[in-house]
Structure 1
Amino acid sequence: MEAHFDGIAEFVAVAQRGSFTAAATDIGITKSAVGRAVTRLETRLGTKLMHRTTRRLTLTPAGEAWLEHCVAALEELKRGESALTLARNMPGGEVRIDLPTAYGRLHIMPVLLDVAKRYPALGLNVSFTDRRVDLIGENIDIAVRIGNLDDSADLHARQIGVQHMVIVAAPSYLVARGVPQSPDELADHDCVAGRRQGNRIAWLMKQQDGSTSRQVVPVKHELQDFEMVLMAVRAGLGLTQLPFWMVQDDVRRGALQIVLDGRSGGEWPINVLWPRTKALPAKVRVIIDGLVGWANES
C-alpha cells in the first residue's frame, strides 16, 4: 500500500515550487532524494511526468493530469486529519462510564449530568457496579472506584475523595435505647447491616493505638442494599455503619446522629480511573476535569 503513495508528496512539491531544490527545502530532505522519489513514481506509473532541463522544469500533459489528482488526494487527507484533530479537541461522542452503585447515583451522576449539559455533543453510557471492572477489556472510558488500587501500567488514577465510615442512628432510636458510649455497648443495641462479608457481620472500629480492627455486632435487620439500610435507620430501627458521604445530608439536618464519633474505623480513597493513552480524548478530559473540579469544591 505504501508504494501507491511513494513520491506523491515530492512530485507535488516540485510541481508547485517549480524546483527540486525548493521542494527539498520545503520537505526537509536532500535534492537528490526528491529526484529519486519522482523518478520512482514515474517508473511505477510508466509515464514521464516532468521535462527537466538545466534552465527550467515543465510538466508533461500526463504530469498536469496527475498533479490535479494528487493535489485533490492530499487535500482530502488534510481534511481527514483535521476531522481527527477536531474529534480529539472537541468534546463529543459516547463516553462509557462505570460507577459504584450508591456513590455513583448520589454524588457522581449529578456531576456527569452537569458536564453533559455543558457539552451537548457528549453521550453518556453509564453502568453501576460494585465489582472490579476491566476498563480496557470491557472498553470503558472512565471508572470511579472506592478502595486501594493495584499498581497498573495501563491506567491513570486521580483521587477525588476519601470514604470515612461512621456509625449513625435516628434520634428517636437513641432516645428509646440510649446512646452507646463505647464499642462494647453495641452488643446491647439493634444493628442494621448491609452485605455480609464472611459468616458474621463486623464493623470496623478504631482502637486506642490507632489501629483498625473488625468488631462483630448483633444484627437485627440485614438488608442487601445500602440505600435500604439507610431507609431502615432513618425509620428508627437501629444503628448502622455507613460511609459519611451517604449520611452527611441526614446528619446536617438532624435526621440522623453520629455515635461513637472518632471510634468508627475505615478510610479508603475514591479514585477516577481511565486507560493510559498518549492523547486523552476531549470527551474523556472534560468529564475528568468536571469530577476533579467538583472534588476540589466539596
Structure 2
Amino acid sequence: MEQLKGIAIFVETVEAGGFSAAAKKLNLTRSAVGKTIARLEERLGVRLFHRTTRSQSLTEEGRFFYERCLRAVEEIRLGEALLESGRREVRGKLRVTMPVLFGRHCAAPILTALLDEHPGLELDLAFNDRIVDLVEDGFDFAIRNGPLKDNPDLTARVIARQRMTVCASPAYLEKHGVPQTLEDLAHHEAIVYRRGNQDRPWIFPTESGSAREIFPTSRLRLDDLASIADAAVAGRGLAWLTCWLARDRVASGELVRVLTDIPANIFEAYAVWPKSPVMLPKVRLAIDTLAKELPPLME
C-alpha cells in the first residue's frame, strides 16, 4: 500500500508541476512530498526528477515511469467513476485542450459554467492550436476543428458545425463594390489566413459535392483569425471568417456579409478522447453539454 501511495504522490507531483504545488493539493508539506519521491527513487534505483532550488522537471526515466503510472492511476480513477456513475455529483479534475480562439469564445464559457452546478469538479483548460498527445500530456479530451486523421486509439464526436462567411467593412464595399460571384473575388483585396508558411484557401462547396478552393489576391496575411476580423473592420479587404466570429461585428454594422446566395463551407468541431470501454462521468458531462450548447452559437 505504501508503494501505491508513493506512485499516487509521484503522479500528482508531475500533474501539479512541482513539489510545492503537489503538497498544497494533497494537503501535505513540501518536505513530505520530497521524501516520498526520494524513497520511490531509492526503491527504483533511478532519479525521477531533475531538481533545482526553484523547480523540478522529469528525467527521461521519470517520463517513462510517469506514462506507465498514469495508466494505472487512470484505471483506479475509472473504477471510482464507475462506482460513482449512479450519483448526481460529478467530481475530479477535468483536463481539456482546445484551439485558442474557438476555446476562448465558444467552448470555455460553456465548460466553466459547469463549475456552478458541480462543486466537486475542477477544470484545467489549455488553449493551444497544435495537436497534442492526449495520453502523454494527460488530457481527458480535446476539442479539434476540421477533418480528423484516422486514429484507432481515439474516439471522436461532432459537437458543432461551423459555417463560414465572407465579410467586409461598409467603407471597403463602398469604395471597391460588392462582389456578386466567386469570380468577382479576383478583383478584390483579401485578408488571408496564413499558417505554417502556407496561405489557406477559401473553400466553397459545389453542386457536385466537391470543394472549390480559391486563393484570393492579398497583400495582408495573418496567422490569427481575430486579427483578420479586426483588419476587415478597418477596411483592409474581404475576410473569410466563421459566422460565430463575425456575428457581433455584423450585428454592430462594422462588417457586412457578402456572397450570401452562395453555399457556405461548413466544417465540424469534434470532441476527441482516448478510447476506453467506459467514459468517465466528468468527460461525458462536459462533451454532452458542449454538444447541446455549442450549435446555437455557431450561426
Alignment TM class, shorter chain as reference:
0.5 to 0.7
Which residue of the partner structure matches residue 289 of structure 2? 290
* 1:183 Cα offset (Å): 1.9
Which residue of the partner structure matches residue 83 of structure 2? 85
* 1:129 Cα offset (Å): 1.9
Contact 2:107–2:294 at 8 Å: present in 1 too?
A: no
Q: Does 1:266 align with 2:265?
A: yes
Q: Secondary structure at the match of 1:248?
A: helix
Q: What number of residue pairs does the alignment pair up? A: 219
Which residue of the partner structure matches residue 175 of structure 2? 176
Which residue of the partner structure matches residue 247 of structure 1? 246
Q: 1:256 to 1:297 in 2, by over 3 A?
A: closer
Provide the rounded CA distance (Å) in 1 between the counterparts of 2:234 and 2:173.
12
How do 1:54-73 and structure 2 match up within 5 A? none
How do 1:211-230 and structure 2 match up within 5 A? 211-230=210-229
Cα deviation per residue 1:58-95 (whole Å; 9 max; x = unaligned)?
xxxxxxxxxxxxxxxxxxxxxxx889834895422221
* 1:207 Cα offset (Å): 4.3
Gaps of 5+ in 1: 2-80
Provide the rounded CA distance (Å) in 2 between the counterparts of 1:103 and 1:296.
13
Which residue of the partner structure matches residue 10 of structure 1? none
Letter in 2 for 1:180: P
Letter in 2 for 1:176: K
Tell which deviates more after alignment, 269-278 or 106-115.
269-278
Q: Does 1:140 align with 2:152?
A: no
Which residue of the partner structure matches residue 150 of structure 1? 149
Gaps of 5+ in 2: 2-78
Q: Does 1:159 align with 2:158?
A: yes
Q: Secondary structure at the match of 1:241?
A: strand
Provide the rounded CA distance (Å) in 2 between the counterparts of 1:264 and 1:230.
21
Q: Does 1:128 align with 2:160?
A: no
Q: Secondary structure at the match of 2:294?
A: helix
Provide the rounded CA distance (Å) in 1 between the counterparts of 2:81 and 2:159.
33
* 1:168 Cα offset (Å): 0.6
Q: 1:83 to 1:278 in 2, by over 3 A?
A: closer
How do 1:190-205 and structure 2 match up within 5 A? 190-196=189-195, 202-205=201-204
Contact 1:88–1:282 at 8 Å: present in 2 too?
A: no
The structure with more radius of gyration: 1
Provide the rounded CA distance (Å) in 1 between the counterparts of 2:120 and 2:285.
12
Contact 1:201–1:219 at 8 Å: present in 2 too?
A: no
Q: 1:199 to 1:155 in 2, by over 3 A?
A: closer
How do 1:85-104 and structure 2 match up within 5 A? 85-86=83-84, 89=87, 90-104=89-103
* 1:250 Cα offset (Å): 2.2
Provide the rounded CA distance (Å) in 2 between the counterparts of 1:265 and 1:297.
17
Provide the rounded CA distance (Å) in 1 between the counterparts of 2:207 and 2:276.
45
Cα deviation per residue 1:156-192 (whole Å; 9 max; x = unaligned)?
2221111222111111211121101122222222211
Provide the rounded CA distance (Å) in 1 between the counterparts of 2:271 and 2:81.
29
Provide the rounded CA distance (Å) in 2 between the counterparts of 1:168 and 1:267.
16
Contact 2:189–2:217 at 8 Å: present in 1 too?
A: yes
Instruction: Tell me the TM-score normalized by structure 1.
Output: 0.65
Which residue of the partner structure matches residue 116 of structure 2? 117
Provide the rounded CA distance (Å) in 1 between the counterparts of 2:229 and 2:241.
8
